[in-house]
């Protein structure tokens, strides 16, 4: 495990600006309001956002942990991030997709630390083994020194032929002396059919967790090669008025589809066998985590799934 002394140039970015529309009905039943899923407490005594914070806290100094947020959600994150310095809150006028948020944060980090290694974490994930997750991240951070021009993705060992996840087709093995081997990336597959997902699983492909690690320079080079107009748009933004004006003109850009999938040769994947990763993108997956791990909650009990109408949409 990394110590604080190792973290001088290691930055974390928690992506928490999404709308979470597919879970909106469920979050309303639990919280009684329209909050996005990252601000909802499904289980574990904390919101998904705060669970993410707790999960990565041993790996990153708090002064080098940023939170990407949307201005419209201020009433939800004001309390949950109340003790976080405002300089660590990257508040967007509106959510314009993951590529925009990532580009903005890289610009902020690179201005402060040109030697930064940056890890990006969605705030709607669950891990059954947090120690294994942290070991994968620590390993990924160490590997940035050996592969400074590559972007490293954590690829989860699949438990099923999931059709709602992105899949990573690995290439040749680069490092096999680690508990989690490092491989080249051959190709991305987005939300395949069931038959295709079954073939991908049988061929040793991995779930794309979207947890990505790399030097700030490698990220910025990849963005320049794929979405140069986005990098230019955010380079010289100064005042809040300029910020809002720029965001009004930017179309949403998905980092996985528009950036990662277009340049697989620039990517490596770390196979994660033990963390038990799940993306809580639908009510079905939330219920699956609760039932599979026998988690107790105040709003759900075994046998009640049929009574939750939101599951019909998940």
Q: Write out pLDDT tens, residues 248-301.
A: 888 999 999 999 999 999 999 999 999 999 999 999 999 999 999 999 898 987
Model-level pTM? 0.93
How many Cβ atoms are within 10 Å of 299's Cβ, its own excluded?
14
In the numeric block, which tokens belong to residue 275?
């963390």
Domain ranges (residues) in the chain? 9-303
How do the residues of the chain divide into helix, strand and coil, expressed in percent and rounded to 5?
Answer: 45, 20, 35
Task: State the average pLDDT for the chain.
Answer: 90
In the block, residue with structure tokens 């999960």: 55
Task: Catalogue the E-assigned strands of 101-181.
Answer: 117-122, 125-127, 151-156, 166-175
Q: Write out pLDDT tens, residues 178-211.
A: 788 999 999 999 889 999 999 999 999 999 999 9
R_g of the chain computed on alpha carbons:
19
Q: Structurally, what CATH architecture does the domain formed by 9-303 represent?
A: Alpha-Beta Complex (3.90)
The mean per-residue pLDDT over the stretch 216-227 comes to 96
Q: What pLDDT sits at residue 246? A: 85
Q: Write out pLDDT tens, residues 112-153.
A: 999 999 999 999 999 999 999 999 999 999 999 999 999 999
Cα–Cα–Cα angle for 243, 246, 252, rounded to 5 degrees: 115
In DSSP terms, 190 is beta-bridged to 166
Closest by Cα among 249, 156, 163, 243 to 205: 156
Q: Is 241 exposed, middle or buried (0-12, 13-18, 19+ CB in 10 A)?
A: exposed
Closest by Cα among 287, 289, 291 to 313: 287
Residues 207 and 155 sit within 8 Å (Cβ to Cβ): yes
Q: What pLDDT sits at residue 1? A: 40
151-156/10-15 β-pairing: unpaired
Residues in contact with 137: Cβ distance below 8 Å, sequence separation at least 6, in sequence order: 56, 59, 119, 154, 211, 213
Say whether pLDDT at 242 is over 60.
yes
Q: Write out pLDDT tens, residues 160-169.
A: 999 999 999 9
Residues 18 and 95 sit within 8 Å (Cβ to Cβ): yes
Q: Distance (Å, rounded) from C-alpha 204 to C-alpha 292?
A: 24
In the block, residue with structure tokens 């069931």: 194
Say whether pLDDT at 305 is over 90.
no
Secondary structure (DSSP) of 2-55: --GGGGTTEEEEEE-----GGGHHHHHHHHSS---GGG---STTS-HHHHHHHH
Residues 213 and 118 sit within 8 Å (Cβ to Cβ): yes
């Amino acid at each position: 495990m990394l110590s604080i002394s190792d973290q001088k140039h290691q930055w974390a970015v928690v992506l928490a600006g999404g709308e979470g529309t597919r879970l909106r009905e469920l979050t309303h039943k639990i919280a009684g309001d329209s909050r996005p899923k990252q601000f909802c407490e499904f289980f574990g005594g904390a919101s998904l956002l705060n669970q993410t914070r707790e999960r990565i806290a041993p790996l990153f100094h708090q002064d080098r942990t940023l939170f990407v947020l949307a201005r419209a959600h201020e009433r939800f994150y004001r309390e949950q991030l109340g003790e976080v310095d405002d300089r660590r809150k990257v508040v967007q006028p509106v959510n314009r997709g993951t590529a925009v948020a990532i580009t903005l944060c890289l610009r902020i980090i690179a201005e402060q630390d040109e030697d930064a290694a940056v890890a990006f974490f969605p705030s709607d994930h669950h891990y059954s083994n947090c120690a294994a997750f942290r070991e994968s991240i620590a390993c990924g951070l160490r590997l940035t020194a050996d592969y400074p021009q590559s972007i490293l993705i954590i690829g989860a060992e699949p438990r099923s032929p999931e059709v709602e996840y992105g899949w990573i087709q690995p290439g040749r093995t680069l490092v096999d002396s680690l508990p989690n081997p490092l491989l080249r990336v051959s190709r991305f597959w987005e939300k395949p059919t069931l038959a295709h997902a079954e073939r991908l699983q049988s061929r040793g492909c991995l779930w794309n967790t979207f947890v990505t690690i790399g030097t700030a320079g490698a990220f910025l080079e990849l963005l320049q090669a794929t979405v140069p107009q986005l990098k230019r748009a955010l380079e010289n933004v100064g005042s809040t008025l300029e910020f809002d004006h720029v965001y009004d003109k930017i179309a949403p850009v998905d980092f996985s589809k528009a950036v990662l999938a277009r340049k697989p040769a620039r990517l490596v994947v770390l196979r994660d066998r033990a963390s038990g990763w799940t993306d809580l993108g639908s009510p079905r997956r939330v219920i699956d985590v609760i039932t599979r791990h026998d988690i107790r909650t105040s709003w759900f009990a075994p046998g009640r799934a049929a009574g939750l109408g939101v599951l019909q949409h998940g």
